[in-house]
Amino acid sequence: MAISDGAAAPLSCPERLTIMPFIDIPPDSRFGRLVVKERTKNEGEHEATWLCVCDCGKELVVTGSRLRTGNTRSCGCLQRELLAQRVRRHGHSTKKDGLSPTYVSWAMMIQRATNPSRPQFRDYCGRGIKICDRWRFGENGKGGFECFLEDVGERPEGKTPDRFPDNDGNYEPGNFRWATRAEQDTNKRRRGAKFTDRIGKLMASEAPDSAAVHVCVQPSAA
């Protein structure tokens, strides 16, 4: 990188860093089944991590971002229990018949919006799109899939999930339909000022006044 007069040249867009503020999590804070014990050594260079104890007694290290977003709520025991309940109750996920199309759509919907390792994660959670707690975790003794099935019904042949009428909104009751490919094509998001403004506001709302926040939005196919 060229240096002149003791100052570094401006960073190009891909090199800019988003400076996120440090958010402390006090000991004994609870997130689902996890109780924070103490701060641990950072993961990598930027991710703050905490040692947590699950209600089942198992200890694990979790990043602060995964605790605050609800992506990690137990050591894994909660997911196993919820899966067992779903298999018993709705019959859409069994060893004999496998996974139903409706269950596959629900599971992939959650993966796209919550799993950072998924290729589509940037286009969902990265845009601020979330899945309502009712469909993700369930309520009133019902699992997330059961609530989803109750609200939207089984997936019709030839259709997949579509956020409608607000394609920039969350997956939640009132903003969902089963749609054909042609119907979804008319509901495609358009990158531009609306998207940039939304992400900018989300970042600015989490940053202290003294933090320098840079948001770099690169065009990509819808």
63: containing domain: 12-75
Question: Minimal CA–CA distance to 59: which of 67, 68, 51?
Answer: 51
Task: State the chain's mean pLDDT as an integer.
Answer: 76
pLDDT band at residue 187, thresholds of 50, 70 and 90? Answer: confident
Would residue 6 count as lying in a domain? no
Statement to judge: residues 62 and 93 lie in one domain? no
Q: Choose between 90 and 72: higher pLDDT.
A: 72
The SS3 assignment for 162 reads strand
Instruction: Name residue, tokens 């948001």.
Output: 215
Question: Minimal CA–CA distance to 111: which of 142, 79, 140, 154?
Answer: 79
Q: How far, in Å, CA of 128 to CA of 123, rounded? A: 9
Would residue 92 count as lying in a domain? yes
Whether the pLDDT of residue 45 is over 80: the answer is no
Whether the pLDDT of residue 50 is over 50: the answer is yes
Q: What is the pLDDT of residues 152-161, one digit of tens each?
A: 999 999 999 9
pTM (two decimals): 0.49
Would residue 32 count as lying in a domain? yes
Q: Which long-range contacts (CB under 8 A, 24 or more apart) does 50-58 make?
A: 50/25
Number of domains present in the structure of the chain: 2
